[in-house]
Structure 1
């Protein structure tokens, strides 16, 4: 807590801090002897009383000016206004409310007020809606709000509620949003979660009543510490109830494998399972053709300083990195999409005049990119075998809705898609199907 000497509030030098619910504003009123919500101080010197009175006067003036400036900014930037509501003369005298108003002009509605329902023609209604939309647009742009928010049910509900309330709605303040409104939301969410938890003893956690996101932890400092990860997961299981937890699914990293063994050793009725989709990708990635394609694709880092953006293609290559299996396949897909621009670059005059063309690494990469028979056929094979499975992985990792209801059908579609990619030639896809069936 800051010391009295380090505080800038003018009332502190003349006050003693005591543990009562008084507040800084009431201390000032006490010292200034204003008789507002607190008794006057009988011992305050005249010079202190005058100082605090002047401070309160300046504060009120500043507060009034800030509020007036805020209201002016709202009115000056608004495209839909109601002139029947009084405003500052400076606002009315400005004429142009904002840069866009130069192109909109003043309508009759601006001079006479809102048109009544009986006078509202379809053309007038469209004009009024356009002006409201411009106000909404201003909020989105000034606060860098994603346009996707406009498709949110909560956004639609908010707009409807405002319209139903009417023009006299006083919007919530930032203080309200972080106090009683937030508290009400917490209560509502808690009630919903508790209702869903009450159903867990009948079916399972992921059931028709809904899926609950229980908690989140920042485990970045212990991502490789099996014992710490075990403590976090064990605490969650204890919170839910050991008898209600059937299975724990994690990543396939070595730390999580150790966590799974520790959990099953302590919780005899619990099963740990690594993510099946990741296991499948890992196994498929070990196939000779895929391993060859991935190994050669990473050689492109030798020419990472050469940009083909704009000259030979409209986008850059994905950079190789220490990643999990899905990202490696994304690299191959990105590479295949730039096959023609890459090959054009390596036969261009720009490449011949480039220093990389004389280096061993540059020569190796050029040989790989121009290899139609082996390299590109391996890339195509990798994409055909991995892309359908990655689609399933996205469903599993998605946050919009539970994946359990779709995962079985998605896996069947995945296998059929892989078979279709090889034109139904069993000899081409049987090895992939065997891997999926084994891990499934």
Structure 2
């Protein structure tokens, strides 16, 4: 048995297990192979290597035991290093970061949307009132799409067939294929899965439901791409993009409001209960792309209250400072002084607010 173990080591050292060395390790590999040859010569003539049953039996079991021993050596360490992500512990971790960075240097904090993170962040804002917190926008949009996926009307479509997107994207070609002489005479057409596939392709109601789901979800996917991308900071655009997505969904199904209502309700529930924050309202109001578009601003006059809440919060009760901020808001709103320059006007819709 000792010879068999040596033989196994030789196989590994000589590269017979299928692994190849990188260019940087070629020299090392050659040395290992020479050593392997030396080991083989010590085995003597007539040696037979272990068969398949021995390798997958004895040697595999031995390797598993070695791994178990290795894992066991770390168990004591787990007790010292692993912790539960309770709200209290997360609050302590966040607090350490805030104190290290400096409260005066932090305006906005964003975390996961899980309940323990929400509680921890609320505790942090109670201790440091000048810090704003919001859940991750991309995570919230994903949760909205997950909620939509749980609707019975959506579930039934998904269960009806897989590969919905491919069917929709190529439905004309697929219809032509499943009605062709080649398909009808092929073996695929006789299988149960093939018959179900044909039923799905030719089922006009199914295709219509698929199209509705895609047209309903597409505006939300665009928002997800925006908040999850690196093209521009999303803070100044999220408020408008969410409302624009809802308006687009209502416009697409204006004659079928009952169809779109469950989708809108899901968005409103997540937006009102989790994602909307006064800081998003401020970023929207301060974005020149929206500020000077009367059609947009007139629909969202309610954000002024959130804007004032943020400004008063940072004024610390300093009335002269509040008056100064109010006067500067008027300059910005009415495009006075530098806000009225030709360069500022020309770049309202092209240049991100931060720039």
What TM-score, normalized by structure 2, do the two folds share? 0.43
What TM-score, normalized by structure 1, do the two folds share? 0.35
Structure with bigger helix share is: 2
Bigger relative contact order, structure 1 or 2 (CA pairs below 8 A, ≥6 apart): 2
